[in-house]
């Protein structure tokens, strides 16, 4: 079972990902967080395999959270969640330690496979 933490300030995005990923039978969303600070706490508490991290959130943003998670012993794979494939922060997130990018408009049927790819340690880039 691939354990995932979803960090996004939009509860609908979290609910969508929980439903889609959970339907696979191979992925479990173990926790949701709505800002970067809560996301780091969730990672420390649950020790997931993969973190899906939004970049732009109020409070502690995703870039800061990625940097903090990257400093943990044996950090999980971090995949950036973004609305735009040309998001100006994506390159900075990859430099900070993110292993890939999942564009929020990725079709639901592709999201499961992309999370599995990330969990296997491969670089993840949404097709778009």
pLDDT tens by residue, the chain, 128 residues? 999 999 999 999 999 999 999 999 999 999 999 999 999 999 999 999 999 999 889 899 999 999 999 999 999 999 998 886 556 777 888 888 899 888 888 888 889 998 999 999 888 776 66
Q: What's residue 93's pLDDT? A: 83
Q: What's residue 85's pLDDT? A: 58
Q: Which structure tokens are listed for 17?
A: 């990902």
d(CA 91, CA 49): 22
d(CA 56, CA 36): 9
d(CA 127, CA 41): 31
Q: What's residue 11's pLDDT? A: 95
Q: What's residue 123's pLDDT? A: 81
pTM for the structure as a whole: 0.93
Q: What's residue 37's pLDDT? A: 97
């Amino acid at each position: 079972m691939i354990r995932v933490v979803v960090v996004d300030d939009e509860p609908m995005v979290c609910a969508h990902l929980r439903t889609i990923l959970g339907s696979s039978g191979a992925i479990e969303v173990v926790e949701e967080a709505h800002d970067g600070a809560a996301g780091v706490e969730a990672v420390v508490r649950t020790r997931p395999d993969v973190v899906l991290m939004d970049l732009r959130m109020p409070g502690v943003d995703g870039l800061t959270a990625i940097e903090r998670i990257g400093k943990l012993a044996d950090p999980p794979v971090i995949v950036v969640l973004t609305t735009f494939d040309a998001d100006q922060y994506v390159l900075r997130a990859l430099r900070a330690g993110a292993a890939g990018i999942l564009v929020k408009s990725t079709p639901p049927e592709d999201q499961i496979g992309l999370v599995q790819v990330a969990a296997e340690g491969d670089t993840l880039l949404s097709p778009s």
